[in-house]
Structure 1
Amino acid sequence: MNTKKIACLASTALVGSLLAATAAFAQSTGSSEVDQVVVTAARARAIAGQVQETLPKSRATIDGAYLQNQATGQNIFQSLNQLPGVSFTNNDPYGSSGGNLRLRGFDGNRVSVTFDGVPLNDTGNYAVYPNQMLDPELISRASVNLGATDVDSPTASATGGTINYTTRLPGTEAGGIATASFGSNNYHRGFLMLESGEVGPLGTRVFVAGSYQKYDKFKGPGELEKKQFNARIYQPIGDNGDFVSLAANYNINRNNNIRALTLSDFRNFGKDYDFDATCPAASAGNCANFYGRQVNPSNTGSIRGAGLFHVAENLRLTVDPSFSYTLADGGSQLGTISETDGRVRGTRFGSITGFDLNGNGTTTDTVAFFAPSVTNTRRYSLTTSLIWDINPQNRIRVAYTGDYGRHRQTGEFTYLNPDGTTTNVFGGKEGHGKTVATADGSFLRNRDRFSIAQLNQVAAEYVGKFYDNRLVVNAGLRAPFFKRELNQFCYTTNASTLPGVVTGFNVICTTQTPNAAAADGSVTFGTSATKYIAPWAATVKYDKVLPNAGLTFQVAPGHSIYTSYAEGFSSPRTDNLYTATLVNGKGAPADTQPETTRTFDLGYRYASGQLLATVAAWSTKYKNRIVQSYDPDLGISIDRNVGDVDAFGLDTQAAWRVADYLTVTASYSYNNSEIQSDLVNGAAAGNVLPLKGKQIVETPTHTFGGRLDWNITEALHFGVQGKFTGDRFSTDVNDEVAPHYTVWDLDVRYDLPFAERTYAQLNITNLFDETYFGSISSRTNALPVTGVSGVGAPTYYIGAPRTVQLTLRTEF
């Protein structure tokens, strides 16, 4: 491939935000096929290979050529950060520590993320993990739906939009790609992909790929390591576009955490403050600040199928099945327990006073263990569509989405090494580390629950073209039916002080025999008066009919307007529901209702041979927002619905081809997200948080982005990009602010004259070494509020300093 051509394409790849899309930018095979009728209707213009957006919704896209300019191995969310409406903060310069995503003010848990149509949000809390994403060399494109989903989106959580990215197809010719990268912080990475080309009588195509990455934290002790393996087989069927495909991905992360700082930490200790390098033997049980006790491991993988089949000339069937696997942990990871604790004595509580856990011959010690919160998920999904072309101007689709996830959450203790590190990063998880035996032969654990998340969704969609294809109308309806089966195997501790109420979230996991149940069904242990809810099970169901509609109209050559309306739905997360209340003598989940959104977009697009431009105004009405708040009927703070958020804003972007060798792109977004009601914080009179009129946390009001690409010569390409992120509130009451900042990145690529299709690339991120607060862990209020009990200090990840990376890439 000619790298000058790559650079030229990349120079306007960013135009894809709101501007560029083709049919295949949709997340599933079915959506790709349906979108073709819209794209072809507009006879879209292109600048340097980028096509004018024609869909009647606000969508943003980047392609593989643009990704090649970014730092090698970077996670896809960081590359999407240049798009309007997107705000992403990376926790380290190379992307393996994760980060924080905001899309038009919605956090990442409320954004549906899919990979070749496979849902990536956690089945329990809907979180997304940027460090587990596909190697960028294998991504053909990534798109963002701002405020809306596709009609077949496999999600029960998306109120804020979707992010979809797709794997490249194996090439038609045998060959491959190899890269080697080195950089700051002892960074090194290697990537290799081999392609078969078309083989055999059927023209089967295959690629296999692998990568290895390792580097030191940019501050404090510790390192980050990532291994990833990928493969895809693609089989075309006939000459009408039918195909079957099977792809596989497996990703292994082993990371030491980077310390997040409070504002006080930053002022007192500086930006490089981090975890301790050692854990003294004398205090091995209390080294909560030891870097070796701060680990973030994960094993994730997926098998993804896709198929398109013509049942008749005007009738097509698409089928996208998948399986995905997750094993990961986090949490405080420090479990310190007395040898006399009831959990240690278990069913022998009345016959012994303690049990020797550390083998020193005594039974009165307090012993430290590694006690992570482990999540293990097995997930099966299917998205399928039947598409009927009534005639060239009218198309109908019906779709079904099924998503079944088995979500196991445990916290088995395991032993520590003499230096304070863990003997296994997954604790005592079965098949991994050694469990810590108790007196009765059971084992210590701090969490033990199992849930099943099941989504069955039906959808229908119509796309029509009118007035010589100048008007395109899209109307759809999706109806998700979502069910959670909850199983709490531990005892829930009562946190309420109100008489006659037993409710809470924290648990103790024990085999100790409780005292006889009280009249209300609660239990106690030993001589303690603390009430507990016995292990319980429940099933909750949620459903909603969600319409979406849009149209785009070409008012004159090069000028078009579009408008869209979409409703979103997010069912409560697992943690929302495991707050239990004693009802009729049994545990019952919190009565939390789904969040819903209604989003309106109105946009204008201009396209000529030299300029693409767009502006989109939007409004989102947010109902039943879920936050942790005080419930006066229960006497504790729980996750519950507290009210509405009204948001509106503006997303704009332009791309100008100044000359064949020079392209400039720029974007700007404005966001106003206002909470509509105050929040009751406690039982005392006046304990109300003044949230009405406040802005949503972690969301900048203003963002600017821009990039310049310059092909200086046939062999030399220069690029520079910047992103301004405005002030962000870090508390709900808006009493602490993360200041605005601007980060600039530079890339230079040179085609080596002595090696065909080979180049060297220099990337410098944070070119001017800006010090800034990146990801935020927000709190309710940082300063005292009259009548309100309690304060909490937000924490911040410090933005990575200037980082230099050099990559050598060759294609063969």
Structure 2
Amino acid sequence: MRISFRQISVSCSIFIGLHALHAEARTSSTAKEADSTAVHHSATQPPAAAAKPTGPKGEAAAPRKASSSGLSTSVLGQFTAAPEEISVRGNMATATGVTNRTPGGGLMPVQTAPRTQSGITRDYIAKQSPTANISSLIAALPGVTFSSQDPLGMTGDHITMRGMNESQIGYLFEGAPLADPINYEPYTSMLVDSENLGSVTVSQGSPDLNAPFYNAVGGQITATEMNPAHKMGGFLDVGGGTHSANKEFIRLETGDIGNSGVRGFVSFSHTSYNNFRGPGGMFRYHVDSKFVKEWGDDNSISAIFSYNRQQATSWRSPTKAQWDQYGIGFAYDPKFTPGDSAYYKLNQSNINSQLVVLPMHFTLADRLKLHVSPYYVHQFGPSLGGENIPASGGYYGTQQYGTLNPGAGTVVNGNILTSSRDPWNQKTGGINASADWNITRSNTFSFGCWYAYTTHEELSDFSPVYPDGQGWSNENIKVNGKILSGYDLNFMQQVNTLFIADTQRLLNDKLTISAGFRVAMVSRQGTNLIPGANPYKMQGNYFEPLPQFSANYQITDKDQIYINGTTSFRAPESVEAYSQIFDPNSAHAVMQPQSLKPEYSIGEEIGYRHHGSFYNFAMSLFNYNMTNHQVTSTGYIPGTNLMVASPINIGGQTSRGVTAELGFRRWHHISPYFSGQFLHSTFDNNFNTGTGVLPTAGKIAVGAPKFTGAIGLNYDDGTYFGNFQLRYVDTQYTTFMNDEKMPAYLTSDITLGYRMKSFGRIKHPQIQLNLMNIGDNHYLSGSSYTSNAQAQKQTNGTVVAGSAPTYLVGGNFAAMVSVSTGF
């Protein structure tokens, strides 16, 4: 009899759950007795009277910073919370960093910023699959919709917040903007392993005033890495699961190095799996390193390094008709036949990166602090797709060529099967600096600047595929001695921003008012060396003034109300916004550059928060008005398996709604969490197709589900732990004319685990089982967008043909068992 991994994992789940209930029943009287002796401490008591928060190794945790971007709490319009009564029941001893102090099982830390803001901590991160990336980890937060592509949460960063996707959201990692500076893809799996991730904060709607962004009209996501331990040691995590998934991770801690004040860690991981649909798979090698030097009064220098090598078989995106016909069976071909461009080995993506960030914080005087964060990022491909190109009579740009030399390949039906490569190469260096000057006890003035320089090179080429399909030649196909290409791009970008801000605290610090002004300047230029490219040289210059205002009032020590008014903008996305894309199968460009104005957003929010000894609650109302709203349509180059992103200016868009979340503190080891958002988002203008106008004004915006919600339930008694998550996403329109939509879907995950006592050098070992999509739902999780899927009549009476959107397929059931320990 064959037993599947899923049957084994479910059996383990039931066994661990029953064992936990039995253990809870046996120890209930002991627990009650222990609870009765709990001591309540005040945050204002001397250190000797209250237990210190501890990190993974039991050492005192570092003080929590108000913002990873370096600004003080007051500069962001935040305030220092009044003393909070907390209940201390002993220190949680774990090797993973779990302390069980965050309400909602790690999903609702206390927030004080005068804007809608949510977050996750180690209490939640450590209990998710070790393969998860930043985007998949925040999927339960209010207003966040994550588009899964694999059940393990490794590939893809496709999310939306309030109807805006990841390219409209700023990603900040340790004070540096590490998303792609041109197409704004965050590539969070490249940044950090989840075992090293300390916390993630999500601002659903507005970025920090000093944040180094020029695309964050939809909000900001800030991630921080764990600080190194003060004691020498390390952490080991080994896991395996369905789809032949495995991950091996090790972190080595130096501890405090003599009396130097320096400590650090270096980690290495390897991850791989087979695709859950279709052939192929993914492998990833990753290195993280962080060293910290601290001295004096809040002086510190950190050195953060990351390296990532990742290769994966691309996911094939179906249309709605293909999904209805094939379901999850729509994938690349597992077997090769001559001329088959859909053979899986020809369709791959490579995501490689090297990054260095050096956050520095200095106290220059009693009332003056300086924050400087230089950074360098190198990201490179290639992306690969199979394509048949004409053996003769095809095109190099607009020039028709004669007969090509197939080299190591063969000619089938007049075509040469090739590996169409896009070896993009991008480098960015920048520095973000700000200063806080406390003019008086109640007034803080801040100012700063950000500069970044980016170069981007992208020369596509075609390599003949061997007759057996097992690889391709290193020799590119050439025309008159030049590499046959669809685009030969050299792109350069410079960014300068300046900001000033002033924060005033009144009424015994109950009322805090902040006002600031930022000006962003973006300069871009590039060339396309393909014959016939018009324009040969492209450029864009953007100058945007961005004022912000916020006010918050502390009603009581535990209750806060706030209002804000913010502005933000986004420069046009991707080099395709400026340059033509050619293909050997077409006599003219298959993608034309667009004259796109920068997207501009004006937003208002009013909100209320409560954080107390039993629960945390937050609720906000929001309104956003955008002009020149750019919707990103991702599609295949005609006749190829290469996807490119094309921005479309849809005009104005208005989004209004309400966001709420509720997280409970631990009660009998249980911490529930609830979040939800209601969103009404509409287009304000009709859409110009180039041949006429479609009546899209008043239509529901694409990618804007009316309702999203999540339920979480966490249990942790120090030995047995687990959590349950349920997420719902409403239907979403995928065309501007609302003639096609993506169905609503529901997914749920379960975690079960057991911690053991330390013995010898082995510190708090544990076993953890993660079950993803336990209902094995087959669903569409995201999409590209088109103006209309069906033929539609324009306002001038002409009919425009439909164009079917393509969709992302959500991951099916998966399980991951991991064993970890400190040492």
TM-score, with structure 1 as normaliser: 0.83
* Partners of 1:471 and 1:552 within 8 A in 2: yes
2:68 is aligned to 27
Q: Which amino acid aligns with 2:426?
A: T
The CA deviation at 1:321 is 0.3
**SS of residue paired to 1:137:** helix
2:217 is aligned to 159
Deviates more, 1:142-151 or 1:775-784: 775-784
Deviates more, 1:33-42 or 1:378-387: 33-42
The CA deviation at 1:557 is 4.2
TM-superposition CA deviations, 1:420-457 (whole Å, max 9, x none): 25448xxxxxxxx543344x332222210111111100
The 2-side partners of 1:727 and 1:412 are apart by 40
* Partners of 2:198 and 2:225 within 8 A in 1: yes
The CA deviation at 1:333 is 4.3
1:454 is aligned to 494
**SS of residue paired to 1:268:** helix
TM-superposition CA deviations, 1:435-483 (whole Å, max 9, x none): 3344x33222221011111110001122222111111222221111110
2:324 is aligned to 267
The CA deviation at 1:342 is 6.1
The 2-side partners of 1:718 and 1:364 are apart by 58
Q: Which amino acid aligns with 1:110?
A: Q
* Partners of 1:82 and 1:723 within 8 A in 2: yes
1:694 equivalent to 2:699? Answer: yes
The 1-side partners of 2:395 and 2:127 are apart by 58
User: Does the C-alpha gap of structure 1 residues 364 and 55 become closer, same or farther in structure 2, counting only changes over 3 Å?
Assistant: closer
The within-5 A match list for 1:701-740 is: 701-711=706-716, 713-740=717-744
1:374 is aligned to 423
1:435 is aligned to 476
The within-5 A match list for 1:556-567 is: 556-567=556-567
Q: Which amino acid aligns with 1:274?
A: A
User: Does the C-alpha gap of structure 1 residues 784 and 176 become closer, same or farther in structure 2, counting only changes over 3 Å?
Assistant: same
Deviates more, 1:767-776 or 1:78-87: 767-776
The 2-side partners of 1:649 and 1:78 are apart by 23
The 2-side partners of 1:65 and 1:672 are apart by 33
The 1-side partners of 2:367 and 2:305 are apart by 31
The 1-side partners of 2:483 and 2:730 are apart by 50
The 2-side partners of 1:471 and 1:376 are apart by 49
Choose the corresponding residue for 1:49, options 77, 101, 112.
101
Q: Which amino acid aligns with 2:677?
A: S
Choose the corresponding residue for 1:321, options 350, 371, 374.
374
* Partners of 2:397 and 2:486 within 8 A in 1: no
2:59 is aligned to none
The 2-side partners of 1:762 and 1:653 are apart by 27
The CA deviation at 1:72 is 1.1
1:498 is aligned to none
User: Does the C-alpha gap of structure 1 residues 131 and 567 become closer, same or farther in structure 2, counting only changes over 3 Å?
Assistant: same
1:616 equivalent to 2:620? Answer: yes
* Partners of 2:342 and 2:386 within 8 A in 1: no
1:748 is aligned to 752
* Partners of 2:127 and 2:722 within 8 A in 1: no
The CA deviation at 1:272 is 2.3
* Partners of 2:706 and 2:731 within 8 A in 1: yes
Choose the corresponding residue for 2:803, options 789, 792, 799.
792
**SS of residue paired to 2:469:** coil
Q: Which amino acid aligns with 2:360?
A: G
User: Does the C-alpha gap of structure 1 residues 209 and 303 become closer, same or farther in structure 2, counting only changes over 3 Å?
Assistant: same
Choose the corresponding residue for 1:183, options 241, 260, 279.
241
* Partners of 2:76 and 2:514 within 8 A in 1: no
2:35 is aligned to none
1:765 equivalent to 2:817? Answer: no
**SS of residue paired to 1:435:** coil
The CA deviation at 1:766 is 0.7
The 1-side partners of 2:812 and 2:538 are apart by 49
User: Does the C-alpha gap of structure 1 residues 266 and 244 become closer, same or farther in structure 2, counting only changes over 3 Å?
Assistant: same
The CA deviation at 1:784 is 2.0
* Partners of 1:23 and 1:36 within 8 A in 2: no
Choose the corresponding residue for 1:406, options 455, 461, 465.
455
The 1-side partners of 2:75 and 2:632 are apart by 40
The 2-side partners of 1:361 and 1:70 are apart by 48
The CA deviation at 1:365 is 5.7
The CA deviation at 1:640 is 6.1
* Partners of 2:683 and 2:699 within 8 A in 1: yes
The 2-side partners of 1:87 and 1:364 are apart by 45
TM-score, with structure 2 as normaliser: 0.82
Deviates more, 1:217-226 or 1:119-128: 119-128
Q: Which amino acid aligns with 1:760?
A: I
Choose the corresponding residue for 2:677, options 669, 673, 683.
669
The 1-side partners of 2:397 and 2:661 are apart by 61
The CA deviation at 1:253 is 1.1
TM-superposition CA deviations, 1:703-725 (whole Å, max 9, x none): 111211123x4411121111111
* Partners of 2:391 and 2:411 within 8 A in 1: no
1:397 equivalent to 2:446? Answer: yes
* Partners of 1:45 and 1:607 within 8 A in 2: no
The within-5 A match list for 1:72-151 is: 72-151=130-209
1:202 equivalent to 2:202? Answer: no
Q: How many residues align?
A: 717
User: Does the C-alpha gap of structure 1 residues 608 and 208 become closer, same or farther in structure 2, counting only changes over 3 Å?
Assistant: same
The CA deviation at 1:391 is 2.6
The 2-side partners of 1:376 and 1:295 are apart by 16
Choose the corresponding residue for 2:227, options 169, 180, 183.
169
TM-superposition CA deviations, 1:591-644 (whole Å, max 9, x none): 321110001010011222102111100000011123589xxxxxxx99664421
Choose the corresponding residue for 1:780, options 787, 790, 801.
787
User: Does the C-alpha gap of structure 1 residues 639 and 105 become closer, same or farther in structure 2, counting only changes over 3 Å?
Assistant: closer
The CA deviation at 1:154 is 1.3
The 2-side partners of 1:806 and 1:361 are apart by 46
* Partners of 1:25 and 1:143 within 8 A in 2: no
The within-5 A match list for 1:543-554 is: 543-554=543-554
1:279 is aligned to 336
Choose the corresponding residue for 1:680, options 688, 691, 697.
688
**SS of residue paired to 1:153:** coil
The 1-side partners of 2:441 and 2:288 are apart by 38
Q: Percent identity?
A: 22
**SS of residue paired to 2:789:** coil
* Partners of 1:205 and 1:233 within 8 A in 2: yes
The 2-side partners of 1:465 and 1:173 are apart by 40
* Partners of 2:408 and 2:464 within 8 A in 1: no
TM-superposition CA deviations, 1:465-513 (whole Å, max 9, x none): 2111111222221111110012121245xxxxxxxxxxxxxx5xxxxxx
Q: Which amino acid aligns with 2:705?
A: P
The CA deviation at 1:680 is 2.4
1:592 is aligned to 596
* Partners of 1:697 and 1:731 within 8 A in 2: yes
* Partners of 2:407 and 2:464 within 8 A in 1: no
TM-superposition CA deviations, 1:88-112 (whole Å, max 9, x none): 1110012233142101111111111
TM-superposition CA deviations, 1:109-133 (whole Å, max 9, x none): 1111121122233222222334434
1:575 equivalent to 2:581? Answer: no
The CA deviation at 1:259 is 2.0
The 2-side partners of 1:650 and 1:344 are apart by 50
Q: Which amino acid aligns with 2:704?
A: T
**SS of residue paired to 2:324:** helix
The 2-side partners of 1:395 and 1:275 are apart by 58
1:310 is aligned to 363
Choose the corresponding residue for 1:385, options 434, 441, 445.
434
TM-superposition CA deviations, 1:747-786 (whole Å, max 9, x none): 0110124754110001101112222211212222122213
The 2-side partners of 1:193 and 1:734 are apart by 50
**SS of residue paired to 1:173:** coil
The CA deviation at 1:256 is 0.4
The 2-side partners of 1:83 and 1:773 are apart by 20
Q: Which amino acid aligns with 2:807?
A: Y
TM-superposition CA deviations, 1:330-385 (whole Å, max 9, x none): 374425232454649999x7xxx535332699999632221122321000011011
Q: Which amino acid aligns with 2:548?
A: N
CA RMSD of aligned residues (A): 2.8
